[in-house]
Structure 1
Amino acid sequence: MKIAVVADIHGNLPALEAVIADMARESPDMVVNLGDCVSGPLWPDETGHLLMEKAWLTVRGNHDRIAVGPPVHPDNQTDHFTQSALSSTVIDWLAALPFSCHLDQGVSIFHATPHQDDLYLTETVTGEDALLSSAAEILGRLGDNATSALFLCGHTHIPRLITLPTGQTIFNPGSVGCPAYSDETPNHHVMEAGSPHARYGLLEKTGQLWTYRHKAVDYDWAAASKQARRNGREGWAHALSTGFYPR
């Protein structure tokens, strides 16, 4: 069993296309998508249509939820832009996505945590940065009912492979289309992958053993940066071209 894992595409169509091309060479048995599919000042509707065509197992991210919710105020530039750019076809697809899924291989799939789609599972915000949380903090966020052997999650945009004292594993593939961003919750901070590559993950099970790979794929991030700048988002443009968010 070989599983490709994508997350946090954020409407970055050329990054997604590059990952799809790389996955074709890897020949996975299935692809799972951990959500936050289209939100961003890039190509939200085009990305949504490509994902619908692929028909991967996909769970809902927090920005997917916002995109199909009540009208977003213009002060929220990213989600307001996304809402205004989406066709009804993509909106209906996003609205039908499940919160989480479970695979027969003892794998649980969700965007952020098993109970909340906008809470960091493995990071604790300290000042302007988000640092790796303690094992006790992570277990507390998973909750007592999280009994799967392997958890696949995104949301933070930071590639992670974590083994907990319980023997359970958390795998975050990183972000396909948004290598760095800033957020105001719980206070102002930045998340940065440190390079502009499109990221995804590969998991392969042989017998009872899993192997894990993080992949960083080259693509035309200058074009993505230009599109963000065309839509008035200089911070996104800088992040897409460098992997760092301007402070």
Structure 2
Amino acid sequence: MKIAVISDIHGNVLALEAVLTDLKLEAPDLVVNLGDCVSGPLWPEETAAILRQTNWPTVRGNHDRFLLDDPFDTMGPTDAFAAERLSQQSMDWLRTTQPTIRLDEDIFLCHGTPENDDRYLTEKVEGPKGHLPDEDTLARELNGETSPVICCGHTHIPRLIRLQETGQILLNPGSVGLPSYQDDHPQRHVMEAGSPHARYALMTNNNGAWNFQQKILSYDWDAASRAAQENGRPGWARALKHGFYGPLS
């Protein structure tokens, strides 16, 4: 059994297309999507049009939820850009996403933590950046979720963590479409993958034990960066081109 795990496309259809090409070569049995599908100053409708056809089990990310639930005049620019461009068909598809998904007794899918799509699981913000949390912090954020494998996104930073006490595996595949960003919650910080590549992960069941592979793919990130710049988001443009957000200002 081979499962591809993708997350945080953020409307970057060029990065998604690179992942789709690689998926044809890898031929997984299942692809799962951990959410934050379309928000961003890039190609929200083009991205949604592809995702509508995939039938992938898809978790509702925090930005997906903002698009569905928040009044337009309260949205930030990232979500408002997508909201203005998404078709009714794409919005209807977004409503089919689920807050969490339990694939089976072994695998649990969420966007942030099992109970909160807007909290980090595999990063802890200390100072201006995220860092690997200690095991006690991870256990608290799991809040009793006992699945042997828990897949999450939201941080855009790839992680594979094994908890010593329970043997649980936490997999964060990183971001397909946005390798770095700045946020003010819970305090001002940046997340930086350090390169502009599109990322996803593969997990393969080998006689009851899971093996994991991170996929790091080239695509035309210069074109994505230009699109973000043309759409008035220079921070996104730097992030897409370099994989670093740039100095806090």
Give the TM-score category using the shorter length: over 0.9
**Aligned 8 A contact 1:10 1:36 in 2:** yes
Q: Residue 66 of structure 1 aligns to which amino acid in structure 2?
A: F
Output aligned runs, 1:72-87, within 5 Å. 72-73=72-73, 76-87=76-87
**Aligned 8 A contact 2:11 2:37 in 1:** yes
Question: 2-side partners of 1:186 and 1:58: how far apart?
Answer: 26
Question: 1-side partners of 2:2 and 2:123: how far apart?
Answer: 27
Per-residue Cα deviation, 1:22-60 (whole angstroms, up to 9, x for no partner): 111011001000000000000001101100111111110
**How far does residue 233 in structure 1 lie from its aligned partner after superposition?**
0.4
Question: 1-side partners of 2:114 and 2:135: how far apart?
Answer: 16
Say if 2:153 is the partner of 1:154. Answer: yes
Question: 2-side partners of 1:21 and 1:105: how far apart?
Answer: 30
Question: 1-side partners of 2:75 and 2:20: how far apart?
Answer: 33
1:29/1:75 Cα in 2 relative to 1: closer, same or farther (>3 Å)?
A: closer
1:153/1:181 Cα in 2 relative to 1: closer, same or farther (>3 Å)?
A: same
**Number of the residue aligned with 2:91:** 91
Q: Residue 45 of structure 2 aligns to which amino acid in structure 1?
A: D
SS in structure 1 of the partner of residue 41 of structure 2 = coil
**How far does residue 124 in structure 1 lie from its aligned partner after superposition?**
1.3
**Number of the residue aligned with 1:209:** 209
**How far does residue 113 in structure 1 lie from its aligned partner after superposition?**
0.7
**How far does residue 71 in structure 1 lie from its aligned partner after superposition?**
2.2
Question: 2-side partners of 1:189 and 1:240: how far apart?
Answer: 17
Question: 2-side partners of 1:143 and 1:232: how far apart?
Answer: 40
Per-residue Cα deviation, 1:132-151 (whole angstroms, up to 9, x for no partner): 1101001100012x010000
**Aligned 8 A contact 1:71 1:80 in 2:** no
Question: 2-side partners of 1:119 and 1:75: how far apart?
Answer: 19
Question: 2-side partners of 1:88 and 1:79: how far apart?
Answer: 16
**Number of the residue aligned with 2:125:** 125
Range moving further from structure 2, 97-106 or 37-46:
97-106
**Aligned 8 A contact 1:195 1:244 in 2:** yes
**Number of the residue aligned with 1:233:** 233
**Aligned 8 A contact 2:59 2:100 in 1:** yes
Deviating beyond 2 angstroms after TM superposition, the runs of 4 or more aligned structure 1 residues are: 70-75
Question: 1-side partners of 2:122 and 2:167: how far apart?
Answer: 16
**Aligned 8 A contact 2:201 2:213 in 1:** yes
Q: Residue 171 of structure 1 aligns to which amino acid in structure 2?
A: L
Q: Residue 37 of structure 1 aligns to which amino acid in structure 2?
A: C
**Aligned 8 A contact 2:156 2:175 in 1:** yes
**Aligned 8 A contact 1:122 1:132 in 2:** yes
* Normalised TM-score (structure 1): 0.97
Equivalent pairs counted in the alignment come to 246
Range moving further from structure 2, 86-95 or 171-180:
86-95
SS in structure 2 of the partner of residue 239 of structure 1 = helix
SS in structure 2 of the partner of residue 54 of structure 1 = coil
Question: 2-side partners of 1:168 and 1:70: how far apart?
Answer: 35
Per-residue Cα deviation, 1:166-189 (whole angstroms, up to 9, x for no partner): 100000100000000000001110
SS in structure 2 of the partner of residue 99 of structure 1 = coil
SS in structure 2 of the partner of residue 93 of structure 1 = helix
**How far does residue 65 in structure 1 lie from its aligned partner after superposition?**
0.3
- Superposition RMSD in Å: 1.1
SS in structure 1 of the partner of residue 141 of structure 2 = helix
Question: 2-side partners of 1:234 and 1:74: how far apart?
Answer: 22
Output aligned runs, 1:47-58, within 5 Å. 47-58=47-58
Question: 1-side partners of 2:108 and 2:237: how far apart?
Answer: 34
Per-residue Cα deviation, 1:78-132 (whole angstroms, up to 9, x for no partner): 1111111111111111122111111226100111111000000121111211111
